[in-house]
Amino acid sequence: MRLAYAPYILKFKSPAGTSRGILTEKPTFFIKIFEDNDPSRFGIGECSVFPGLSPEADGNYGYKLIELLANVALGVETDLSGYSSILFGLEQALRDFAGGCQHIYFPSSFTQGKSSIEINGLVWMGDLDQMIERIDEKVALGFHCIKLKIGAIDWKKEVEMIEYVRRKYSDSVLQIRVDANGGFSMDNTLPRLKRLADLGVHSIEQPIPAGMPELMAFLCQVSPLKIALDESLIGIHDREKKENLLDLVHPAYLILKPSLCGGFSGAEEWIKLAEERGIGWWVTSALESNVGLNALAQWTATLGTSMPQGLGTGALFTNNFECPLSLESDRLKYDPSKPITNEEFSTLDWRY
């Protein structure tokens, strides 16, 4: 068995405002698994690294891919415990290859086109008028749950925006999730959580930065608003450390991004530990291309959850790949008649 990898730069259709600045492009890597006697038949995966968020996004990343390439050829296992995004891509490629190289990673009624996944509508950061306009667009499209990225504009204006939403849409019509990306401080967190709860917000992701588990545990105990952990999960791969975090903090929810929290296997361990403790969860994409998003959606469809998931739709990039995923209202669907084809990857700069 052999492995090859190819770097790729995803280009945003328009600048995307995030808590880590304005993005116009995002790097990613594709890997393929194949046999020497038939290189045209391969399993594909995406190593969706996220600079500024993925701990492994440093100068050693390329060397780790080279190490993996060599070890696969030698039949030697590679330690990927600190490389969630590479493990995420490798798990995809191996599953695809084992399943016949049809890009069916997790067969289910979803990949047969017989079921769908409810998702939330993500409202990107912008000024007040932009965000209100985007919220109205999501509701008009049929979304019943939206996720607002907060922290980009003045807090008073963000409250004004949520007040507008609540005047127009009751909580029985529209569920509001917010993501602070660790943007609150010790001085303002509790009053802000109280204000958001009063406005009928469903939950908040990561109100304070990761790395302060004792303070997060205190907030989870006293907050009138349900708190979800996101960045706090990144970089924790040891089962005992996962258990210790959940037992200490006991959040209401976990936000699972396999490319950032140990691939599919690592995310499944988080789910098992969370459910044992009565902690809820949902899956969120992390700016993958349609290759990674396709695998992520297929995996999510097998998990048996009825909550709206935080999956993207692949519409952000100008140079994305054809994909069997489509959106109808707030339901993500898979069309078996429109599979990703290997021809799409023939022009990539493969390294062997």
**Ordered strands of the 175-179 beta sheet:** 121-123, 145-149, 175-179, 203-205, 226-229, 253-256, 280-283
Residue pair 45/88 in contact (Cβ under 8 Å)? The answer is yes
Does residue 218 contact residue 39 with C-beta atoms inside 8 Å?
no
Q: Look at the chain and count its residues.
A: 352
Helix (H), strand (E) at residue 281: strand 280-283
* 72 three-state secondary structure: helix
CB 88 within 8 A of CB 258: yes
User: How far is it, in rounded angstroms, from Cα 309 to Cα 284?
Assistant: 6
Residues marked as catalytic: 149, 257
Ranges of H-type helices in the chain:
61-74, 84-98, 128-141, 155-168, 189-198, 213-222, 239-249, 263-276, 290-301
